[in-house]
């Protein structure tokens, strides 16, 4: 298995532009997580899905952020409009099983987003 | 307030030596505690996951301990190798609700193993 796949690996955009990050979870996993990591705030969980359904999005910072999971093998995280403070590394992770229990999460390589 | 504090912030040790990283938390009720290793420029990799009923768990040269009474966990690395150089992050899950807002992250310990 190729593991969790994220694209793009790097994204540089200008303030106000729309940014779409993509994630393909490990085949067979039914939970998917979006994280953000910055030097100042560390790692933060933004939203997670179970069986393609968003379970809790209370970690999403603002309405400018939205996430979708149209099927079991694909998810997107969209920022519209983007702002410089959104600059961070965004990780996608997947696991087997519901919720935030003791199931191991497998992380993708991340997307480094820079908003100028 | 639910918090997770890790110490030290950074650590430099010689190859072959042992070291122990600490994680203290105030999260309650407690569901599970995870230790992750994160190499520079890469995603975190799970090392151990422990529930409140487990007080030790090993993964190769990594051994995590948990004292749910004192709300402390430690990660012990035996016979360190250069490849152990990374950040180690402690993450505590609140209760069994599974809601995103109930994950509390430590800021990590940056470990450097030198020759």
pLDDT tens-digit map of A27-67: 999 999 999 999 888 999 999 999 999 988 888 988 999 99
pLDDT at position B100, please? Answer: 41
Do A98 and B98 count as a contact with CB atoms less than 8 A apart? yes
Q: How close does chain B come to A107, measured CA to CA in Å?
A: 5
Indicate whether B99 pLDDT > 70: no
A43 shares contact with chain B (CB less than 8 Å): yes
With b for 16 or more beta-carbon neighbours within 10 A and e for fewer, the A57-94 pattern comes to: bebbeeeebbbebeebeebebebeebeeebbbbbbbbb
What is the overall mean pLDDT for chain B?
Answer: 91
pLDDT at position B101, please? Answer: 46
**How does pLDDT run across A57-99, given as a tens digit for each residue?**
888 988 999 999 999 999 999 999 999 999 999 999 999 987 6
B52 shares contact with chain A (CB less than 8 Å): no
Q: Nearest residue on chain A to B43, judged by CA atoms?
A: A109
**How does pLDDT run across B25-40, given as a tens digit for each residue?**
998 777 889 999 999 9
Beta bridge partner(s), residue A38? A42
Residue B99: its chain A contacts at CB < 8 A? 55-56, 58, 100
Residue B106: its chain A contacts at CB < 8 A? 42
Indicate whether B2 pLDDT > 90: no
Count of CB pairs separated by less than 8 Å, A with B = 64
């Amino acid at each position: 298995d190729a593991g969790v796949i994220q694209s793009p690996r790097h994204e540089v955009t200008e303030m106000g532009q729309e940014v779409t990050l993509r994630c393909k979870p490990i085949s067979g996993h039914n939970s998917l997580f979006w994280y953000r990591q910055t030097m100042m705030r560390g790692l933060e969980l933004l939203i997670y899905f179970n069986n393609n359904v968003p379970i809790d999005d209370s970690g999403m910072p603002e309405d400018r952020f939205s996430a979708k999971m149209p099927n079991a093998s694909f998810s997107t995280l969209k920022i519209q409009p983007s702002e410089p403070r959104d600059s961070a590394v965004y990780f996608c992770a997947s696991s087997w099983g519901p919720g935030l229990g003791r199931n191991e999460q497998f992380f993708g390589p991340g997307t480094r987003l820079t908003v100028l | 307030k639910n918090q997770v504090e890790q110490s030290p912030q950074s650590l430099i040790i010689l190859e072959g030596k042992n070291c122990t990283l600490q994680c203290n938390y105030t999260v309650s009720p407690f569901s599970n505690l995870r230790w992750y290793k994160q190499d520079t420029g890469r995603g975190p990799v799970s090392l151990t996951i422990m529930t409140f009923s487990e007080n030790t768990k090993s993964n190769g040269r990594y051994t995590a301990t948990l004292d749910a009474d004192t709300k402390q966990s430690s990660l012990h690395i035996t016979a360190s190798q250069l490849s152990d150089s990374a950040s180690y992050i402690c993450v505590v899950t609140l209760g069994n609700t599974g809601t995103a807002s109930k994950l509390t992250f430590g800021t990590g310990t940056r470990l450097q193993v030198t020759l």
